[in-house]
């Protein structure tokens, strides 16, 4: 029928896996806004939710690294990580093969997306689902943008991917929600883990909130790496979510939490 | 090229429970299936997390290998710092360190 | 420096593997034109040759099926098939990592190509190399278009891929040759193996020779399947080679050989 | 879904010499690693090339499995024809037959 929801959130594994080590008030505030986001998402009554992730070598490796990928299966399992390490139990999430096929065929008209008849969710999708779909009720369509192994896809193609998903969502009879998930600046899983460039993050979120396409696409990867770390490459997921929505964004939460290794962010976008 | 092989070993190990079991039972046998330099092979077998980091293994793969070896999160970060102290800066890949070796940014 | 050669040829495994079972005059005529094509290719003094293949589940499977892929390694091995079955000995072909990285980065500006740090050549690349590079001298950059597992990439994107490769070839200092390889109509590896729709093939080759983009992109997959079989989906490789060249094509050879399971085709294109 | 698993088994078998050796030694053990229907499992173990074709396995994967089983090219084509005679038309995938079961198009 149409795109009925577009939002963004962080997915760092520390959010669940190292929850006890964060300042309690910061953790509680973040979790509360995740609860709000869940309410907003479910209020949109989606038939399926596309999660645009930036997965971390769980399914995709440099033997065959797609710039863009979409899942095409009846179900997906996760987390691929040790459930105790991530503090998220294993689940089998429902997919929708037919819906995936229709979305992929439409996306392929403009963006050369790989399709995947199997896909094991890592923390990049499991952390969002843990908060947004705690009872494992939603139909999930995983999407991925390679933000890990260079050469990375240019930002303007991430925008094109978001536009293609919007066109595809509008072309199917189902009500489609979309969640983009990534860090802004962060240096995850390195000795610099916990470093967060709040000024750079706030500047990016300002561009994102204004729906300012040109400003969002103006970053070079060299700049992003210098200011936002290798985790900053994941801005592609936020850019795609903005392109799909087409409207202005609202940042409901932004709080650097070093032990979570990211400036924890939650936002939603106006669908126009 | 052998950073690719080294990373692939850890990637496959992270994904595959059967391979994990076989690795625990006979790590040398698993490692022999990949084209590695002597230094890379030893870094896996010891295991030397700091050296693997310096060799350029992406942290998104390395952190799971550390967890598999029973290394706790803060200890994992410390071992990378120690690796840089001992072996010098990261030699390949995109994960060069940007803070000093004595800085504990996340408090971890 | 620029694209210095663009051509197309068949790659059916029977061409080498079942050579003794074809009428000798037909086999000899085909092999002679392959020799001509080799002479033309080497006369262009390429520093590297991009082979646009439509590989057959040797490297890419439905767990992660890219629409477009490019190799990014210093070397490649093949054939993945039993060398006796294919009657082509194993070789290690030279690649060029740096050239691959530069080509991929440019292609990615418009086409979302997957990159592959390993790639084992199947008959789709080995048969062409067997004739065009018998002494294993050339530097090879493998490219792939998914022509096997649906949903398949639209024909207009195959055109865009050819254009992107041309732009990339023109942007590097090396002299780049390109060979597109695929069947036209054929029903390979099925009970219908040997069926060839000569009229449909000649009509396609007419559109291709005229460089008539609109006519080449006018096929639907349903039509192609009905008239050209599942092997007909491989017209995407010929279309990409035409897009890269930009000029008219010359068909140097076309001969249906049922035991080779394809209308054996060799052609070259004017670079404009 | 299980056509995907069946095809994946054959895809991996075609690529991996170690798996081929293990398959020759103990095919049931290899097959048990994939989620297959009873009919699919039996089609692999017998092997019944005709049934695998009818089940929808892509010929570009199937022809290599036939070669692995020592089945010559013309015999491979004939077994697919016989499979359609015995089990009826192809049930899934893109490889439905378009000629009659008694037609030998390539002379093979
Ligand atoms: Fe991430
Ligand atoms: Fe082919």
**Nearest ligand (C-alpha, residue C123):** 2
Contact C162/C96 with Cβ under 8 angstroms? no
Q: What is the mean pLDDT of residues D37-57?
A: 96
pLDDT of residue C58: 97
A270 in any annotated domain: no
Show pLDDT as tens, one digit a residue, over chain A (272 residues).
699 999 999 999 999 999 999 999 999 999 999 999 999 999 999 999 999 999 999 999 999 999 999 999 999 999 999 999 999 999 999 999 999 999 999 999 999 999 999 999 999 999 999 999 999 999 999 999 999 999 999 999 999 999 999 999 999 999 999 999 999 999 999 999 999 999 999 999 999 999 999 999 999 999 999 999 999 999 999 999 999 999 999 999 999 999 999 999 999 999 99
- CA C182 to centroid of ligand 2, rounded, Å: 5
The contacts of residue A125 (CB under 8 Å, 6+ apart) are A11, A51, A53, A55, A78, A140, A142, A181
Decide if A194 and B60 are in contact by the 8 Å CB cutoff: no
User: Judging by beta carbons within 10 Å of its beta carbon (0-12, 13-18, 19+), is residue C30 exposed, middle or buried?
Assistant: buried
- Compute φ and ψ for A245, nearest 5 degrees: -75, -45
- CA C250 to centroid of ligand 2, rounded, Å: 21
Residue in C73, C76, C117, C119 to test binding to B, most B beta-carbons within 10 Å = C117
Place of tokens 């963004």: A8
Domain span holding position C97: 2-218+231-251
Instruction: List Cα–Cα distances, D85 to C191, D3, D78, D89, D97, in angstroms.
Output: 12, 21, 11, 8, 11
Q: What does pTM read for this prediction?
A: 0.96
- CA B58 to centroid of ligand 1, rounded, Å: 12
What residues in D contact A74, CB-CB < 8 Å?
1
pLDDT of residue D94: 77
C98 touches chain A (CB under 8 A): no
Decide if D95 and C193 are in contact by the 8 Å CB cutoff: no
Q: pLDDT class for C171, splitting at 50, 70, 90?
A: very high
Answer whether residue B97 shows pLDDT above 80.
Answer: no
C176 in any annotated domain: yes
Domain count, chain C: 1
In chain C, where do the E strands start and end?
2-9, 48-53, 68-71, 75-78, 91-94, 114-116, 140-145, 175-181, 246-257, 262-271
The residue among B99, B89, B101, B87 whose CA lies nearest residue B43 is: B87
- CA C49 to centroid of ligand 1, rounded, Å: 37
What residues in C contact A67, CB-CB < 8 Å?
108, 112-114
A186/D12 Cα distance (integer angstroms): 38
Neighbour tally for D1: CB within 10 Å: 12
Q: What is the mean pLDDT of residues D57-61?
A: 95
B73 touches chain C (CB under 8 A): no
pLDDT of residue B102: 74
Contact C5/C178 with Cβ under 8 angstroms? yes
C224 in any annotated domain: no
pLDDT of residue A98: 96
Decide if B4 and C118 are in contact by the 8 Å CB cutoff: yes
Contact A172/A4 with Cβ under 8 angstroms? no
Q: What is the pLDDT of residues C71-94, one digit of tens each?
A: 999 999 999 999 999 999 999 999
Q: What is the pLDDT of residues B22-51, one digit of tens each?
A: 999 999 999 999 999 999 999 999 999 999
What residues in C contact B58, CB-CB < 8 Å?
none
Decide if D1 and A74 are in contact by the 8 Å CB cutoff: yes
Contact B65/B102 with Cβ under 8 angstroms? no
- CA B14 to centroid of ligand 1, rounded, Å: 16
Query: Minimal Cα distance from C118: which residue of B?
Result: B4
C87 in any annotated domain: yes
Q: pLDDT class for D93, splitting at 50, 70, 90?
A: confident
Query: Minimal Cα distance from A70: which residue of C?
Result: C64
What residues in C contact B1, CB-CB < 8 Å?
73-74
Place of tokens 């620029």: C2
Could you give the residue ranges of the DSSP H alpha helices within B16-95? 17-25, 27-31, 38-45, 49-54, 59-68, 73-87
Q: What is the DSSP string of chain D?
A: -HHHHHHHHHHHHHH-HHHHHHHHH-HHHHHTTS---HHHHHHHHTT-HHHHHHTT--HHHHHHHHHHTT--HHHHHHHHHHHHHHH-S--SSS----S-TT--TT--
- CA A92 to centroid of ligand 1, rounded, Å: 21
pLDDT of residue B100: 72
What residues in C contact D81, CB-CB < 8 Å?
191
C72/C100 Cα distance (integer angstroms): 5
A132 in any annotated domain: yes
pLDDT of residue B93: 82
C30 in any annotated domain: yes
C76 touches chain A (CB under 8 A): no
Answer whether residue C32 shows pLDDT above 70.
Answer: yes
C266 in any annotated domain: no
pLDDT of residue B92: 87
Residue C238 sits in a domain whose CATH number is 3.40.830.10
Give A 8-47 residues with CB within 8 A of chain B: 18, 21
C45 in any annotated domain: yes
The contacts of residue C164 (CB under 8 Å, 6+ apart) are C106, C107, C109, C110, C111, C113
Angle, nearest 10°, between helix axes A235-245 and A155-171? 40
D35 touches chain C (CB under 8 A): no
Which structural domains are found in chain D, ordered by start?
3-87 (1.10.700.10)
- CA C122 to centroid of ligand 2, rounded, Å: 10
The contacts of residue A184 (CB under 8 Å, 6+ apart) are A200, A201, A204, A205, A228, A232, A234, A235, A238, A262, A263, A265
**Mean residue pLDDT across chain D:** 90
Decide if C118 and B1 are in contact by the 8 Å CB cutoff: no
pLDDT of residue C157: 98
Q: What is the DSSP string of A29-96?
A: HHHHHHHHHHHHHHHT--SEEEEEE---SSS--TTSB-SEEEE-SSEEEE-SS-HHHHT---EEEE--
Contact A175/A1 with Cβ under 8 angstroms? yes
A126/A79 Cα distance (integer angstroms): 6
User: Per the structure block, which two tokens stand in for C267?
Assistant: 């052609």
């Amino acid at each position: 029928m149409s795109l009925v929801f577009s939002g963004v959130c962080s997915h760092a594994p520390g959010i669940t896996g190292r929850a006890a080590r964060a300042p309690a008030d910061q953790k509680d505030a973040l979790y509360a806004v995740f609860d709000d986001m869940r309410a907003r998402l479910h209020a949109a009554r989606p038939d399926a939710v596309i999660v645009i992730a930036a997965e971390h070598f769980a399914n995709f490796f440099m033997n065959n690294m797609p710039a863009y990928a979409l899942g095409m299966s009846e179900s997906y399992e996760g987390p691929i990580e040790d459930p105790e390490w991530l503090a998220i139990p294993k689940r089998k999430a429902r997919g929708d093969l037919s819906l995936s096929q229709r979305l992929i065929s439409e996306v392929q008209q403009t963006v050369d997306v790989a399709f995947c008849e199997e896909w094991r969710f890592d923390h990049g999708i499991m952390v969002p689902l843990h908060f947004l779909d705690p009872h494992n009720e939603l139909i999930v369509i995983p999407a991925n943008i390679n933000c890990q192994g260079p050469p990375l896809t240019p930002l303007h193609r991430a925008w094109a991917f978001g536009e293609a998903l919007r066109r595809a969502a509008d072309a199917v009879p189902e009500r489609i929600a979309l969640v983009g998930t990534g860090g802004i600046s962060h240096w995850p899983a390195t000795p610099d883990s916990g470093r967060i460039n709040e000024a750079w993050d706030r500047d990016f979120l300002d561009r994102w909130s204004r729906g300012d396409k040109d400003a969002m696409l103006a970053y070079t990867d060299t700049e992003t790496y210098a200011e936002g770390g290798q985790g900053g490459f994941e801005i592609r997921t936020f850019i795609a979510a903005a392109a799909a929505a087409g409207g202005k964004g609202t940042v409901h939460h932004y709080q650097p939490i070093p032990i979570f290794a990211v400036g924890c962010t939650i936002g939603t976008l106006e669908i126009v | 090229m052998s950073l690719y092989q080294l990373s692939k070993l850890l990637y496959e190990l992270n994904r595959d429970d059967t391979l994990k079991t076989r690795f625990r039972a006979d790590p040398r046998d698993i490692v022999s299936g990949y084209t590695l330099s002597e230094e890379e092979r030893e870094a896996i077998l010891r295991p030397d997390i700091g050296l693997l980091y310096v060799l350029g293994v992406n942290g998104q793969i390395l952190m799971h290998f550390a967890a598999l070896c029973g290394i706790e999160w803060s200890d994992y970060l410390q071992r990378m710092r120690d690796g840089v102290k001992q072996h010098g800066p990261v030699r390949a890949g995109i994960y060069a360190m940007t803070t000093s070796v004595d800085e504990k940014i996340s408090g971890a």
